[in-house]
Amino acid sequence: MSDSRVPRRRRFLVCEPRHFAVQYAINPWMHPDVRVDVDLAQEQWQKLIAAYRAHGHTVDSVEPVAGLPDMVFAANSALVVGGRVFGSLFHAPERRPESVHYETWFKTAGYEVHRPESVCEGEGDLVWTGRYVLAGTGFRTTREAHREAQEFFGHPVISLTLVDPYFYHLDTALFVLDDSAGGNNIVYYPEAFSPGSREVLKRLYPDAVLATRDDAMAFGLNSVSDGRHVFIAPRAEALAARLDDHGYVPVPVDLSEFHKAGGGVKCCTQEIRS
């Protein structure tokens, strides 16, 4: 079946982990007393970039800024759909300066950037499906930001409530397998969501691939798919096997150093959709 899955070339925006560290705790994964191996983080990040390029994807980079250790998590900087950029306003004061540097990159690249009025953490909580935006709330991004995003993009925005602090962003509990009009589908961990949100997802995606808590705790839901290849944490072996059964090709990429800050493959990857 995997031969029938067609990858789509993507353009990704990333940020080198030159200053990556765990200096504060803003989610349950972060413990400032745990040392980060910066050299290993660099090596793992470079392998992610190499994997993207080996599969035909374009990768652009934002210059990292000293004093912003989480700037490597580029996904949180914006949602870009149809060449329109909906920027970020971080919940944690420690991360708020990141928005300015990403906004500068987008503007220099020729994009207009909408700066949200409400707390919004980009693709961390706003997931483009090809038809509408799935939007997480409960820990970071607010429902007010969901309404703001709908007004900005003119696409339906479907609010989903997250209830488990380990899955504080939507992109730790759900990812899109294929955002093409004919093959749209997702993977998600049901227990990360409120009962009502689980019902919404069940109705929208009756054929979704369901993940377990073990999959989610291994950062298996913080994955990136190009419609055929799924760049996924190696420890999420059971989920990778299920994806293979559904005709997708898992591409394991170890970003275990970034797990110490609550991030993985998707957190490090912003997609620019023209």
Residue with tokens 């759900």: 174
Q: Which of 15, 120, 267, 268 is catalytic?
A: 267
81, β-bridge pairs: 84
β-partners of residue 185 are 178
Q: Which of 146, 169, 229, 259 is catalytic?
A: 169
268 is catalytic: no
Whether the Cβ atoms of residue 191 and residue 141 lie closer than 8 Å to each other: no
Question: Is 218 within 8 Å of 198 (Cβ atoms)?
Answer: no
**Which segments of the chain are extended strands (E)?**
11-15, 58-62, 79-81, 84-86, 113-114, 126-128, 133-137, 157-161, 174-178, 185-188, 209-210, 224-225, 229-232, 249-252, 270-271
The most distant pair of C-alpha atoms in the chain lies apart, rounded to whole Å, by 48
Beta bridge partners of 178: 185
3-class secondary-structure state, position 6:
coil
Look at the block and give the residue holding tokens 């060449």: 83
Closest among 134, 145, 227 to 173, alpha carbons compared = 134
Q: Closest Cα partner for 74 from 66, 90, 62, 83?
A: 62
Whole-number Å distance between alpha carbons of 196 and 38: 41
Catalytic residues: 169, 267
